[in-house]
Structure 1
Amino acid sequence: MASFAWRGRNGRGEEVSGITEADADHAVADQLIAGGVSPVEIRPLRSIEQVPAGSEATTRPPWAALLARPVSGEEVLILTRQLHTLQKSGVPLLRSLAGLQASHDKPAMCDLLGDVRASLDQGRELSGALARHPRVFDGFYVAMVRVGEMTGRMPEVLRRLAEHTEFVLDTRARIRQALRYPAMVLGAIAVAMVVINLFVLPVFAQVFAGFKSELPLMTRLLLGSSAFMVRWWPLLVAALVAAVLMLRAWLATPDGRYRWDRLQLRLPLAGPIVRRATLARFARSYALAASSGVPIAQAMTVIAQTVDNRYIGARVEQMRDSIERGESISRCASAAGIFTPMVLQMIAVGEETGEMDTLMVEVADMYEREVDYAVKNLSSAIEPLLLLVIGSLVTVLALGVFLPLWNLGQAAMSH
């Protein structure tokens, strides 16, 4: 199937143009006449900016897909901004995707855009085409695009998505930067503990065996753990791999994901950050849906998918059910138990004044500022705990290894 550029005049005599994919030019003419357009010119499109969907994949060797890098979050951000600009300028979606596909030199992105174009040609909506790639576009992204399709405000939705994607990428970068040093230290400690248990403590065990005296409790514990690891280390490695696989399988189930998302909200340091970031998504999505005229019950259904947290999503669905029964939004939000008192007050004020969308934007901005502040202070909050862990391990090793030597020296001096 080839692409054809055409010009024609509609029933009012106005000149119109576009691009249509068909098997031949007469098929394009039949489509135009059936749509009430009199064709003036039909020509095959051979320019580089109209690459047929999936053609890039057919010209590459089969092993290229295995070596290709996946689409990154930064590339999704750039794609969203480009789509926003093109949609704002009135460029048709298929033409926009074709031009973006031709301008990309990364195979993974070309394949992605080609598949999206093919899905649109088959009659799918843009949200359905993006949902075919869950590793690239998460539930929040797809749900927001669906909101844009429902409301006809796709350029604004894409702009909001670009801002949100940039905020998420910046937050992740800050968290990685804050956790890089603690992760390196904890990794070095783990490697050191394995080396000590497998190679160092067995040597000390042979030395201590010649003391012919009872060893301290701490030393016996260390030598026992070392002997257990030396004897059963293949089983420990297999158990660790099995535990990781079982955890991933459990998280793939609805109940497992629900419990894991609820556990994330209760973690000491990361829990408040996850909660605020999730509620910022809720407020931003609600504001966009309310300003676009989407019914509240229908908006709540979409928002429950956009928050990307099964636990909070279930609470949003409970709010939707209560709203359908005729209860007020403020009462439903209070019963959900996920909002702070100040946010509940803002929801109540917005419901009374009819400015819910404006106040929810302020709630989203407030939560995002709190997330930014918490991420900046995350490193300073982790360092005391890290020092406590390192100090405890050093103390245990020092007492377990050097206490018998100290006792031996004391006994030699007494003799």
Structure 2
Amino acid sequence: MAEARKSAKSAAKKPVKKTAAKSAKPEKKEKGNRYQFEGKNLQTENIVRGEVVAKNEDEARQKLARRSIKVMQLTKMKKARAKKITQADITIFTRQLSTMMKAGLPMMQAFDIVAKGNPNANMTNLLMDIRNRVEQGESLGDSFAEHPAYFDKFYCNLVAAGEAGGVLEGLLDKLATYKEKTQAIKKKVKGALTYPIAVMVVAVALILVMMMFVLPSFKKIYEGLGAELPGLTQWMMNASDFFVEKGWIIIPGLILGTWGLIQFHKHSFAFQKRVDSWLLKMPIFGEIVMKATIARWSRTTATLFTAGVPLVEVLDSVAGACGNIIYEEATHEIRSKVNQGISLTSGMQSANVFPNMVVQMASIGEESGALDDMLNKVAEFYEEEVDTAVATLSSLMEPIIMVVLGSIVGVILVAMYLPLFSMGDAIG
């Protein structure tokens, strides 16, 4: 590992190039159906398998005959659907490529198998473009860097370090493990936040329906009876009148306001920073977000450091990968201090965003020369903490949300039926 780290340092110091790759022209796509075949090569007498594109089965057989292949089996393949490429797709691809290369398959063949077997047409095109660039002489790291929407600086730097150190298979395995763990932790945090938000949306929708459609029916009944309404009922009826008159403005306003807020968050750095800060300070949720961020920060730092990337370069990549602007700015501050010769531990301590345990573990790692191992232990500890916190939160949130939602609906129902109870008392 030490030799791989030393041999990778020279390549890792250089930022990953983003060349235009003019020589790698996009592959011209054939129109038609894809057929998977198994046949006998009449020239070599060998059994061959592969794919051919043709309009129909007869044309496929003719194409194969021109290649001196006697068809034994021909199967029409289902057309891949073009879907949006997600980070989950990139994670699965990384694991598949790592597994195949560790099994001894050449990289080009591994790319072919993964690309052509992918059910997402967009993913297939992306992987075939990367394969073509590598075939034209580009490095794998540079080829990935041509698609920054899917492969970030951290991913490209790690691949480049693996190529330079001759340990690409091992680093792809570590990269796949890293992405699987970070995806899992992100999914858990999103799941913890999604449930209460979804229930709140349903509650708001339910209240709007009751205010705009149910209460007006009761109002007509009470007006016909000419009874004096109790204070709570009158207040509810006034609120219902407001929703009936303004509801068709309120509902589109809520939808547009939510969409506008999401867009503003995407394009405003100051607002993103405020939201990230607010998330960290939230009761209960804030602790989960903090632990998830530290777990990701620790695992990213450990993975890059294991690859032999210099610490300054590591921190530069980690800043953009930690997923929270508060920690991103803190990492930039730590990087600046490390660049001046100050230790990582001192930088982390002065940043004031890491718990004492994390700082102490990093300090032990620096002193013993096992920083990557210590940070991996920190990541594992906080990932387990997030698992426990999310499980506890889920069990607590369900009854709390049901009580709150039931109380709101209960007050509305009491307000609707209260005049009937009053009339019954008067008659009695």
CA–CA distance in 1 between the matches of 2:273 and 2:142?
24
Q: Is the CA contact (8 Å cut-off) linking 2:101 and 2:169 kept in structure 1? A: yes
Q: CA deviation at 1:176?
A: 7.3
Q: Deviations over 1:24-66 (max 9, x none)?
A: xxxxxxxxxxxxxxxxxxxxxx984899xxxxxxxxxxxx99x
Q: Is the CA contact (8 Å cut-off) linking 1:287 and 1:356 kept in structure 2? A: yes
CA–CA distance in 2 between the matches of 1:22 and 1:330?
45
Q: Deviations over 1:212-252 (max 9, x none)?
A: 56534432332222222211222123212321231222122
- What's the counterpart of residue 401 of structure 2? 386
Q: Deviations over 1:144-195 (max 9, x none)?
A: 4455457654323321232233334544665677778767755553443232
Higher relative contact order (Cα pairs below 8 Å, separated by 6+ residues):
2
CA–CA distance in 2 between the matches of 1:150 and 1:240?
53
- What's the counterpart of residue 80 of structure 1? 94
Q: Give the structure-2-normalised TM-score.
A: 0.71
CA–CA distance in 1 between the matches of 2:163 and 2:325?
24
1:271 equivalent in alignment to 2:296: no
- Structure 2 counterparts to residues 13-412 of structure 1, below 5 A: 48=50, 68-71=82-85, 74-88=88-102, 93-120=107-134, 126-127=140-141, 129-130=143-144, 133=147, 136-137=150-151, 141-142=155-156, 144-145=158-159, 148=162, 153-171=167-185, 186=200, 188-210=202-224, 215-253=229-267, 254-412=269-427
What SS does structure 1 have at the residue aligned with 2:309? coil
Residue 97 of structure 1 aligns to which amino acid in structure 2? F
What SS does structure 1 have at the residue aligned with 2:281? coil
1:134–1:291 CA distance, 2 compared to 1 (3 A): closer
- What's the counterpart of residue 34 of structure 1? none
1:171–1:333 CA distance, 2 compared to 1 (3 A): closer
Q: Is the CA contact (8 Å cut-off) linking 2:297 and 2:318 kept in structure 1? A: yes
CA–CA distance in 1 between the matches of 2:155 and 2:166?
16
What SS does structure 2 have at the residue aligned with 1:252? helix
1:155–1:49 CA distance, 2 compared to 1 (3 A): farther
- Runs of 5+ unmatched residues, structure 2: 1-22, 26-47, 54-78
Task: Report % sequence identity.
Answer: 32
CA–CA distance in 2 between the matches of 1:137 and 1:217?
61
Q: Is the CA contact (8 Å cut-off) linking 2:24 and 2:133 kept in structure 1? A: no
Residue 211 of structure 2 aligns to which amino acid in structure 1? N
CA–CA distance in 2 between the matches of 1:342 and 1:69?
43
What SS does structure 1 have at the residue aligned with 2:378? helix
Q: Deviations over 1:73-103 (max 9, x none)?
A: 5543331122113444565544432332233
Q: Is the CA contact (8 Å cut-off) linking 1:48 and 1:102 kept in structure 2? A: no
Residue 242 of structure 2 aligns to which amino acid in structure 1? F
CA–CA distance in 1 between the matches of 2:157 and 2:374?
22
1:152–1:368 CA distance, 2 compared to 1 (3 A): farther
Q: Give the structure-1-normalised TM-score.
A: 0.73
Query: What is the Cα-based RMSD across aligned positions, in Å?
Result: 3.5
Compare 259-268 and 128-137 and name the one that shifted more: 128-137
The total of aligned residue pairs comes to 358
Q: Is the CA contact (8 Å cut-off) linking 1:301 and 1:320 kept in structure 2? A: yes
Residue 274 of structure 1 aligns to which amino acid in structure 2? V
CA–CA distance in 1 between the matches of 2:277 and 2:93?
32
1:211–1:126 CA distance, 2 compared to 1 (3 A): farther
Q: Deviations over 1:259-301 (max 9, x none)?
A: 3333332333433222222211211122223333322212110
CA–CA distance in 1 between the matches of 2:254 and 2:364?
52
Q: Is the CA contact (8 Å cut-off) linking 2:185 and 2:383 kept in structure 1? A: no
Compare 173-182 and 253-262 and name the one that shifted more: 173-182
